[in-house]
Amino acid sequence: MALTADLLRGHTETIILSHLRNGASYGYQINKSISEKCGSAFELKEATLYTAFRRLEADGMIRSWWGDEDTGARRRYYRLTPLGEARLREDLAGWDETKRLIDQLLDLEPVPAENK
Amino acid sequence: MALTADLLRGHTETIILSHLRNGASYGYQINKSISEKCGSAFELKEATLYTAFRRLEADGMIRSWWGDEDTGARRRYYRLTPLGEARLREDLAGWDETKRLIDQLLDLEPVPAENK
DNA sequence: CATAGATACATCACCTGTCAAGGTATCTAT
DNA sequence: ATAGATACCTTGACAGGTGATGTATCTATG
- In tens, the pLDDT along B5-53 reads 788 888 999 999 999 998 999 999 999 999 888 877 788 899 999 999 9
Would the pLDDT of B116 be above 60? no
Q: How far is CA A107 from the centre of its chain?
A: 27
Instruction: Collect all residues of chain B within an 8 Å Cβ-Cβ radius of residue A18.
Output: 105-107
Put simply, the answer to whether A7 touches B115 (Cβ < 8 Å) is no
A111 vs B103, residue with greater confidence = B103
pLDDT of res. B42: 81
Yes or no, beta carbons of B4 and A34 under 8 Å apart: no
Averaged pLDDT for residues A72-86:
94
Kindly report the nearest CA distance between residue A110 and chain B, in angstroms: 12
Q: A61, A9 in Cβ contact below 8 A?
A: no
In which band, very low, low, confident or very high, does the pLDDT at A106 lie, cut at 50, 70 and 90? Answer: very high
- Contact at 8 Å (CB) between B6 and B20? no
A34 at interface of B, judged by CB pairs closer than 8 A: yes
Give chain A positions within 8 Å (CB) of B97: 3-4, 41
> Closest nucleotide to residue A47 (Cα to C1')?
C19
| pLDDT, position B26 | 96
The model's confidence at residue B110, banded by pLDDT at 50, 70 and 90, is low
Structural domain A6-105, CATH architecture: Orthogonal Bundle (1.10)
Considering only the beta carbons, identify the residue of A6, A92, A115 that sits closest to B106.
A92
Question: Is the full-model pTM beyond 0.85?
Answer: yes
- Cβ atoms of residues A52 and A12 within 8 Å: yes
Q: How many CB pairs under 8 A join A and B?
A: 92
Q: How confident is the model at residue A57 (pLDDT cuts 50, 70, 90)?
A: very high
How far is the CA of A64 from the CAs of A17, A57, A93, B7, in angstroms? 13, 8, 26, 26
